[in-house]
Structure 1
């Protein structure tokens, strides 16, 4: 299934605005734009590819805001969407969130999945503690 061209363009425009706000650490406005875009996607939202990246973007908003439980909620939704399962970024962020919450068992599983798909490259630019954690459990 494909979204209507006009709706898809509007979703992309809102998402790009959200990305800019996220880059500027304006998490409140980024969230607002991503949610506006998500509202344009028909139900069930998990059927649409655009939902995957919007849920990931919302998860990133909360991850970078250190609101890990909320981030997990959005990343979990992204896993249910097309191309979500096995997505290394989603697995990385889920693992990082669980790590930050002290749930090292879940962190291990997700971080290892990210590592298995992308190797150590997925950890570039991330805090070294995550790759060190993975290195300890391999």
Structure 2
């Protein structure tokens, strides 16, 4: 896989670090400006670069924390087309949370299940308990629909 130049990689990291500091201070508009500036430095096609994954996740996370859930869905969904995103429990969790907040319960259940399958309940430990509670209702529903195993079944 191609590598970013050292200077480009350093600039992207610097902008993202500045964005992270601003996001921690809940200055999301300013944080998003930094993340978008970092995104603009990534060469085309952007979906070929791991840097795109983590920049889009930073943007999507800031969207979520700022209650801009549809933007979070859009950015985190785009991140899923980039290297290393599929199977990352944090990305699946955050995308599932945004999906739930926008009313897309089927997609929310799918994404939250993916996060849970990889990381277990621990991934939800610092999150609003409603997300794990929602997931448990979905898992219980699926289990309840499965017929009980009969004693004569051989599998």
TM-score using structure 1 length: 0.97
- Pair 1:10 & 2:11 matched: yes
Partner of 1:79: 80
Partner of 1:124: 125
TM-score using structure 2 length: 0.87
Q: Distance in 2 between matches of 1:64 and 1:28?
A: 11
Partner of 1:103: 104
Deviating runs (4+, > 6 A) in structure 1? none
Number of aligned residues: 138
Consecutive unaligned residues of structure 2, counting only runs of 5 or more, are 140-155
Give 1 or 2 for the bigger CA radius of gyration: 2
RMSD (Å) for aligned C-alpha atoms: 0.8
Q: Distance in 2 between matches of 1:102 and 1:50?
A: 30
Higher relative contact order (CA 8 A, sep 6+): 1
What secondary structure does 1:76 align onto?
A: helix
